[in-house]
């Protein structure tokens, strides 16, 4: 694994906990982790259960005893590491968004295709049982033709103007702000559930344009360390309208300035025959409306998706005993392991990552042109 | 109408507003109101739209142009007025609880039976569309055999120790406290929905035993007016267990000391084939669980009972446009008017009031004996 | 009053019920109603309590005993009637949207200014106690600078392809579809709470393009009456992004194709210091998040706006006893009466109606141009 | 560990996952598991990560390399195993309820006191961050004097009459039914939060008295395997009223017949200055009402207890990223490990188990006597 911050922890835990709940032929063995700061990476390896560590990811990739490279570093490093890993014949999973730009993303996809390795992008929220069950309902036609999607990913962790200028707030490291960090999750969820987006028009805004310098590597609790400030070069918030290839209309919003919403990743989908609502903060629940319910008894049902009918849920506890955020990563890694064992390519893979990136890029372009942008026209597509 | 406080207002509004929404052969004509304080009753008549007023209810009852007597005075006066009204051949509706004691209640019921007039007790919550719809579902067997009932009526308006000693806090005027005032509503709702109670065991408590003297007649915003205090002689809170004749188990609780619950009159009913949940503070909604829903799709549905399938709702606005507390009284008076027109006896009538009173009395008795009490054994029944 | 369909009923009830709950110097007297179909208008007058009727609105306006004209007819008739009423010196209240076009709206506003009469547009949802309380919180700075608004008005009453081609689905009578009918309500609510919109970009869609002919005047339960079909010439759904003059970002959506949402008029507002959420289907509740709440105790509060601190609520029942949809009209008419008595101009007036119409027109224009449109540039403004 | 069914899995996972999230001086080492069926116990050891297995718990206890005995077997075996383990000087954690009877529980407590070992009862729900935070609020006086408690533990997994006669439905193996299995959890939660219970009166009921024989060891998905039936000798449901030593009133209910409630372990606590509400099915949320909130802004706050102010939550993910059921066991084992390291006795220990058992026994006794029973009078106490 390359990197060891927040996402390093979620992925490490998933490798460690997977075998307890799921049987896979390929069992993850936590061989090695890499990072540039030796003291820190050594401590991380110990804390998270990695057998060894490297201070250069190139060394890690060169090791024969490594089959899978898991990339949890900042966004601007994904492409270089992933392409090198592909060339070394390693299977790859990388954090989202896939890349800084659509062009980079395409190069990464070319590399893994050429290398014929298994590749995934870590859009973990797809793997909540409630979301997988939503997918089954839609695929079975229970909603009929889809008319509407509204997807919001609302956070509030950088609302304090004293929150420092971490790497996620610099364009050169992050690509974009709320859009690429959390909006990319919404896009993945909705593409998974509803299908491809044809065109978009969006707006992006940076509410706080200067912030104190601080730990650039810092996580959500980063502290500023001085009086110097620097420019925020990504969006604090983004919103866009979308028209889907199947005729549905979508509204998307991603923001880090929605007070009181710690991690409100939610969506609503309205179809001809029914509707769905989901919210990560109560992620075990799915609300379902079925238009063919008896008159008088029509209403949204709140389903606690902890029953054996709900994908992955059967591996855990009896109905009504909920699981949490970290389990979405267990399911993601489960699919990765299955892909490696069976020689199949699980989703979401780099191709999905490219399509996601194309939407991100179209939104950014529309912010500049103030016009609708066709997704398949961006990036010289 | 005799009396003109809080309940005077709800009833007056119902008479006034009924013809706008419902067609009845007998139209209410708001002839006269009575009260002892001439200035106050005159003002009340004007404010609430009564054509005349009396300062003695006996005069009111004696008037030939009055067909219906509506009693909204404190509990200890219900019996005398109702019996006199019955003897004068007037139809009667009275506020709940029917009487101070079971013995009084029975005498009242005897009087109306003998006089052959229409009689009702103002248990208005039965008439929320969601509750009526719940009744339909149960009657149609949609819940199967009922196993459990839990009914809470939670308020918090007298938690302040400086809230004065109003009539509702004196046994001689109110009979009991939370038990008879709001617990009686829960008992009525659940008897309506589930059936008769066989035996009970309960506890009652007065948390604040002395209160400042104040406006005895005072309503919810009554002010204390001095330094003198008096004894609270009714319960602040009561709870009881119940076994129903059909085998169901019930837990009931009524309290004026549940901080944050302004008027939380709620119940849950669990049956063999499904469950219901209702809460007055969002009284248009009924939550329904049906055990024969498809596996995976099982969960409580939140139904906004504003559709034409929901009793009374069709008289108002399109679906999703809610009604409020006052409308329950409109439906109550609607049934009263229909009863008078058609010569039928609407429910809840004095017989229901007697049965309700028997439960109240059994709970009070069990508080003394610390034992289970059979409801049909109380009061020399 | 001119017209007697759905909105005729809400307004009539408000005139009738207002004096019971509120004191106003000017008391509404329900003199006369007009409509072209004599039998129908006569019946409506009787049902709703109007003393007389006319079959030509011009006659109504000409009557000396009429001080106020209330226009509840289809949208395309508002301008002609309102201008005539203004010229006759009558005070005017009209249903929303104010007009078919911005140009019409402006002419109407000129007419009432010139005539120096009191004028209002019936954006009743402003007058829910929870919304008024939200306004107070924002005005008091409790949310700080506003960053985000998301407003959805979701309905589902025309999803059935057999629902007939009523006047609301024809551009010449309605101006637009979901946008002008319900989106206009969201725009009014948000303009009231957050301020003016600078520019918008939107999309509109008609999912079902042909419908059976039926009762053109038909309401929500209209029936089709044959095999002939006609073209739907308004939008079934509309969504738009907005930038506000104060820097806030907004997403709006109005649709009649959101299955399971009977009348979900909801908004969320996120500011620097807090957030608000409201939903018409549980309109007595306001959810409030305050960022300066103690750490650990931060979360959205669900406030049942039935206390005396909540505007208008004190006129009704004790806390926890909810009011409904119809009460918003009582408050609207209350403000109208106060305006007439005091010679002040209550909001929302025709000026607000013009501004609302400008947003509607800008959204429609952006649908054509596929670009952002500045609101103050539309209509030759 | 002795036993390897449902609770064996929760405990095993906790030992395994603890070190990833928490630092403890004593690290759990998963040495050995025991069970009578060699094939099954061998498979369980492998699946759950135990280094070895035994087919006799006596052998396990005799092993020198074992420091802690974890008892997850049916209730009737707890006493014998625990006493033997204590005599062998092992630290002990046992599933709840502590024992079949109060007398047994007391002997167990004597044994561990005499042996001077660390002892705990696995009341895991205490360790949900929201519950621990509730405890902090109460301990800090934020609720003031407690007036009311209502605790329900509602399940529905045995409602099907074909669900077989597993050990949990036989008195000789389980002691009691819903009362001891889930009611014991409610009692522990409320004793933890509110204090000791003085007296109780209760009722118990077995709705389905005969069931098909099947896998006696069976878990929640047990199948019946024939046409023979046997008698259910425990309660399907139990409810009781309680008076607390501090004057609070409580209502408790435990049932396996509440359709639609998979695992609804919920409580409400009302105090002088505020109220709390919690529900296991959305266990990360705590609802808090504070009576000293500003007038107009009073309401229940929904707090997602995933912030660093919420006990244990800081060890996991950023705010808004929830944890699940299994994490309550991690926290329980964390406290066990800390107790062993520091030589302190964590709660809930066997003393708490004895007190819990006394309440269970008092409820059972009151079912027989149909009277209130003082908790400290039961069992010859």
Give B371's DSSP letter: B
Q: Could you tell me the two tokens for C346?
A: 């209550």
**Residues in chain C, how many?**
381
* pLDDT of C257 above 50: yes
* pLDDT, position D133: 98
pLDDT averaged over every residue in chain C: 94
Q: Is the peptide bond before D105 cis (omega within 30 degrees of 0)?
A: no
A323-333: per-residue pLDDT in tens?
A: 999 999 999 99
B14-44: per-residue pLDDT in tens?
A: 999 999 999 988 888 999 999 999 999 999 9
Question: How far from C78 is each of A191, B239, C75, C173, CA to CA, in Å?
Answer: 44, 59, 6, 10
* pLDDT of D221 above 60: no
- The arithmetic mean of pLDDT across residues A337-346, rounded, is 94
B221-268: per-residue pLDDT in tens?
A: 566 666 799 999 999 999 999 999 999 999 999 999 999 999 999 999
User: Three-state DSSP class for D73?
Assistant: coil
Phi then psi for residue D240, to 5 deg, are: -150, 155
Closest CB to D281: pick one of A264, A283, A304.
A304
Closest chain A CA to residue B304: A299
Interchain contact, A295 vs B301, CB within 8 Å:
no
* pLDDT of C219 above 90: no
Interchain contact, B299 vs A299, CB within 8 Å:
no
Chain C residues near residue B285 by CB distance under 8 angstroms: 282
Q: Is the dihedral of CA C204, C207, C211, C216 positive or negative?
A: negative
* pLDDT, position D302: 97
End-to-end CA distance of chain C: 32
* pLDDT of A8 above 70: yes
Residue D63: CB atoms within 10 A of its CB come to 15
C283-299: per-residue pLDDT in tens?
A: 999 999 999 999 999 99
CA Rg value for chain D:
21
- Label residue C381 by pLDDT band (50, 70, 90): very low
- The H-or-E segment that residue B141 falls in is none
Distance (Å, rounded) from C-alpha A260 to C-alpha A273? Answer: 33
Chain centre distance of CA A207:
24
pLDDT averaged over every residue in chain A: 94
Calculate ∠ Cα C276-B278-B290, nearest 5°: 110
Distance (Å, rounded) from C-alpha C217 to C-alpha D340? Answer: 79
* pLDDT, position D7: 87
Chain C residues near residue D304 by CB distance under 8 angstroms: 299
Residue B212 to chain C, least CA–CA distance (Å): 22
* pLDDT of B218 above 60: no
Interchain contact, B157 vs C48, CB within 8 Å:
no
- The arithmetic mean of pLDDT across residues D349-373, rounded, is 97
Which residues are CB-contacts of C289 (< 8 A; sequence separation ≥ 6)? Answer: A259, A260, C274, C275, C276, C298, C299, C300, C301
Residue pair D319/A261 in contact by the 8 Å Cβ criterion: no
Give D131's DSSP letter: H
Percent of chain B with pLDDT over 90: 87
Which residues are CB-contacts of A330 (< 8 A; sequence separation ≥ 6)? Answer: A13, A14, A17, A18, A21, A22
* pLDDT, position A378: 82
Residue pair A267/A280 in contact by the 8 Å Cβ criterion: no
- The H-or-E segment that residue C263 falls in is none
**Strand-strand pairing, D264-271 and D274-279:** antiparallel
* pLDDT, position B378: 82
Residue C290: CB atoms within 10 A of its CB come to 22
Interchain contact, A147 vs C271, CB within 8 Å:
no
Residue pair C171/C234 in contact by the 8 Å Cβ criterion: yes
Interchain contact, C296 vs D307, CB within 8 Å:
yes
- Label residue A216 by pLDDT band (50, 70, 90): low
- Label residue D217 by pLDDT band (50, 70, 90): low
Residue pair C95/C7 in contact by the 8 Å Cβ criterion: yes
D296-321: per-residue pLDDT in tens?
A: 999 999 999 999 999 999 999 999 99
Closest chain B CA to residue D150: B253
Interface partners of chain B (CB pairs < 8 Å, 3 or more) are: A, C, D
Interchain contact, B309 vs A303, CB within 8 Å:
no
Best A166, A317, A323, A328 residue to mutate vs chain D (most D CBs within 10 Å):
A317
Q: What does B220-262 look like in DSSP terms, one character per residue?
A: TT--EEEEEEEE--S-SEEEEEEEETTS-EEEEEEES--TT-S
**Strand-strand pairing, D119-121 and D91-94:** parallel
- The H-or-E segment that residue C236 falls in is none
Residue B214 to chain C, least CA–CA distance (Å): 19
* pLDDT, position A381: 45
- Label residue A218 by pLDDT band (50, 70, 90): low
CA trace torsion B309, B310, B313, B319 (10° rounding) = -70
* pLDDT, position B381: 45
Question: How far from D58 is each of D7, D36, D37, D69, CA to CA, in Å?
Answer: 20, 11, 15, 11
Distance (Å, rounded) from C-alpha D1 to C-alpha B52? Answer: 83
Q: Could you tell me the two tokens for B368?
A: 């003394």
* pLDDT, position D219: 55
Distance (Å, rounded) from C-alpha D90 to C-alpha D62? Answer: 10
Percent of chain C with pLDDT over 70: 96
Q: Which of A 127-186 lie inside 8 A of C, CB atoms? A: 143, 147-148, 150, 152, 154, 156, 159
End-to-end CA distance of chain D: 32
B312-367: per-residue pLDDT in tens?
A: 999 999 999 999 999 999 999 999 999 999 999 999 999 999 999 999 999 999 99
B68-93: per-residue pLDDT in tens?
A: 999 999 899 999 999 999 999 999 99
Residue A247 to chain D, least CA–CA distance (Å): 33
Residue B241 to chain A, least CA–CA distance (Å): 27
pTM across the whole model: 0.96
* pLDDT, position A217: 57
Which residues are CB-contacts of D325 (< 8 A; sequence separation ≥ 6)? Answer: A316, A317, A321, A322, A323, D10, D280, D283
Distance (Å, rounded) from C-alpha B34 to C-alpha B72? Answer: 10
């Amino acid at each position: 694994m390359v990197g060891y911050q927040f996402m390093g922890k979620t992925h490490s835990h998933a490798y460690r906990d997977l075998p307890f709940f799921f049987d896979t032929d390929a069992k993850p063995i936590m061989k090695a982790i890499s990072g540039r700061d030796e003291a820190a990476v050594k401590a991380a390896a110990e804390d998270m259960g990695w057998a060894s560590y490297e201070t250069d990811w190139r060394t890690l990739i060169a090791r024969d005893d490594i089959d899978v490279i898991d990339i949890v570093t900042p966004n601007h490093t994904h492409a270089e590491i992933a392409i090198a890993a592909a060339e070394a014949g390693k299977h790859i999973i990388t954090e989202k968004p896939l890349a800084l730009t659509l062009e980079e993303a395409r190069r990464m996809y070319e590399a893994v295709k050429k290398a014929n390795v298994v590749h995934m992008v870590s859009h973990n929220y797809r793997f909540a049982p409630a979301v997988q069950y939503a997918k089954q309902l839609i695929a079975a036609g229970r909603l009929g033709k889809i008319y509407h999607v509204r997807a919001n990913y609302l956070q509030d962790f950088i609302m304090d103007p004293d929150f420092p200028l971490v790497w996620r707030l610099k364009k050169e490291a992050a690509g974009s702000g709320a859009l690429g960090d959390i909006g990319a999750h919404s896009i993945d969820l909705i593409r998974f559930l509803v299908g491809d987006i044809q065109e978009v028009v969006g707006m992006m805004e940076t509410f706080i344009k200067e912030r104190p310098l601080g730990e650039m590597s810092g996580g959500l609790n980063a502290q500023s360390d001085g009086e110097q400030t620097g420019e925020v070069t990504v969006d604090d918030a983004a919103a866009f309208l979308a028209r889907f290839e199947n005729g549905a209309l979508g509204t998307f919003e991603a923001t880090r300035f929605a007070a009181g919403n710690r991690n409100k990743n939610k969506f609503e989908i309205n179809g001809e025959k029914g509707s769905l609502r989901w919210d990560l903060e109560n992620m075990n629940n799915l609300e379902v409306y079925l238009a063919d319910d008896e008159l008088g008894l029509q209403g949204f049902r709140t389903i606690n998706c902890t029953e054996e009918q709900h994908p992955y849920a059967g591996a855990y506890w009896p109905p009504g005993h909920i699981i949490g955020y970290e389990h979405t990563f267990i399911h993601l890694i489960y699919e990765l392991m299955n892909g490696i064992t069976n020689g199949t390519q699980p989703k979401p893979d780099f191709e999905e990552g490219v399509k996601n990136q194309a939407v991100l890029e179209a939104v950014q372009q529309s912010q500049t042109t103030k016009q609708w942008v066709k997704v398949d026209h961006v990036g010289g597509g």
